[in-house]
Amino acid sequence: MKPAKMPLEELMSSGHLACQGCGATQAMRFALKVLGPKTVLAIPACCWSVIDGSFPNSCIDLPIYHTAFETAAVVASGLKAGLEMRGDTESTVMAWAGDGGTFDIGLQALSGAAERNEDIIYVCYDNEAYMNTGIQRSSSTPVGAWTTTTPVTNFKKRPKKNMVEIMAAHSIPYIATASTAYPEDFMRKMQIAKETRGTKYIQILAPCPTGWKAPPELSVSLARRAVTSKIYPILEITRNGQKLKVWKDFKPTPVRDYLLAQGRFRHLKDAEIKTIEREVEDNWQRLLAKEKMLESIPGFGE
């Protein structure tokens, strides 16, 4: 893997309130470099409603609409409609929400907007728990993880919700997952999202060193290991949910290394790690099988 190249323009500035090594902040910086100055953001309650600063200051040189927890998608829809009413069809509207505001609390609004195929980009920066409020479990928290509501004596037993499949079921034009460790890939996907009409859903793994109980310098490294250990596949779903493309061009690394580098998994016993390893491999195989199956539908290869 070669180091990334990216545009020089900065729409995000220093002085923000993110923790050290924050993945969500990196993700925002990458996204804004693609979207450019003609962009409006809708941010629900999440880390980013704190990161950007206290009223009337903001680290982002763009209009931001801070919304209630469950309403990112619907506010973004309204913003887009309002802009269009005023004759501005050019500006991009992006809802930028955490996994809590996407997987759990904002799912209804997102589902509604996606079903109507509103012309918005919905980015979920996935740090796998309610980090802003103090690391509570969300439905995005992976199996085996510690959070303050799933303590080590009773760590999370249920798997991570498959949000991508839910979004694919809405037949929207573009769905992708990404990781902060692969900025060029993420920025390419943001570019596609910017150029596509209709609802675009992009979910980017944004490590939270604070909540994952890992040293901040490992932020990017963990985002990379999550992908190379096949825990967090990087994929694109196009043609209204009909075509799946999984990124496979990497050197696989052990699941165990990824888990044990983080404090939130350190309580796991050997047998539990083995179970997770098996599940990761099963999920990966199922994903590849699905990719192949969709390719083999007659007339779909063209």
Say how far apart CA 275 and CA 271 lie, in whole Å: 6
Interface residues for another protein in 188-247 (CB under 8 A)? 209, 215-221, 224
Instruction: Say whether residue 299 binds another protein (CB under 8 A).
Output: no
Q: From residue 135 to residue 154, what is the string marking binding to another protein with x (rule CB under 8 A)?
A: --------------------
In Å, how far are 22, 24, 25, 211 from 220, measured between CA atoms?
9, 11, 12, 15
In the complex with another protein, which residue's Cβ is closer, 22 or 113? 22
In the complex with another protein, which residue's Cβ is closer, 20 or 89? 20
Instruction: Say whether residue 112 binds another protein (CB under 8 A).
Output: no
Candidates 42, 23, 267, 224; CA nearest to 131 is 23
Q: From residue 57 to residue 96, what is the string marking binding to another protein with x (rule CB under 8 A)?
A: xxx-x-xx-x------------------------------
Q: Give residue 301's identity as a one-letter amino acid code.
A: G
Q: Least distance from C-beta 63 to another protein, angstroms?
A: 8
Residues in CB range of 51: below 8 A, 6 or more apart = 16, 17, 18, 22, 24, 25, 28, 59
Q: In terms of DSSP bridges, do strands 235-238 and 121-126 run parallel, antiparallel, or are they unpaired?
A: unpaired
Instruction: Say whether residue 5 binds another protein (CB under 8 A).
Output: yes
**Residue 151 is encoded by which pair of tokens?**
């303590």
Neighbours of 19 (CB within 10 A): 17
In the complex with another protein, which residue's Cβ is closer, 221 or 238? 221
Burial pattern 160-187, b for ≥16 Cβ within 10 A else e, equals: bbebbebbbebebbbbbbbbbbbbebbb
Interface residues for another protein in 20-39 (CB under 8 A)? 20-23, 25-26, 29
Per residue, the 3-state secondary structure of 173-199, as one string, reads CEEEEEECCCHHHHHHHHHHHHHCCCC
Instruction: Say whether residue 260 binds another protein (CB under 8 A).
Output: no
**Residue 272 is encoded by which pair of tokens?**
């539990």
Q: Least distance from C-beta 41 to another protein, angstroms?
A: 11
In the complex with another protein, which residue's Cβ is closer, 58 or 199? 58
DSSP for residue 284: H
In the complex with another protein, which residue's Cβ is closer, 24 or 168? 24
The stretch near another protein (CB under 8 A) out of 8-16, 133-141, 234-242, 262-270 is 8-16
Instruction: Say whether residue 15 binds another protein (CB under 8 A).
Output: yes
Q: Give residue 107's identity as a one-letter amino acid code.
A: L
In the complex with another protein, which residue's Cβ is closer, 26 or 139? 26
Q: Applying CB under 8 A, what is the total number of residues that bind another protein?
A: 43
Q: Give residue 281's identity as a one-letter amino acid code.
A: E
In the complex with another protein, which residue's Cβ is closer, 26 or 71? 26
Residue ranges in contact with another protein by CB under 8 A: 1-6, 8, 10, 12-18, 20-23, 25-26, 29, 52-53, 55-59, 61, 63-64, 66, 183, 209, 215-221, 224
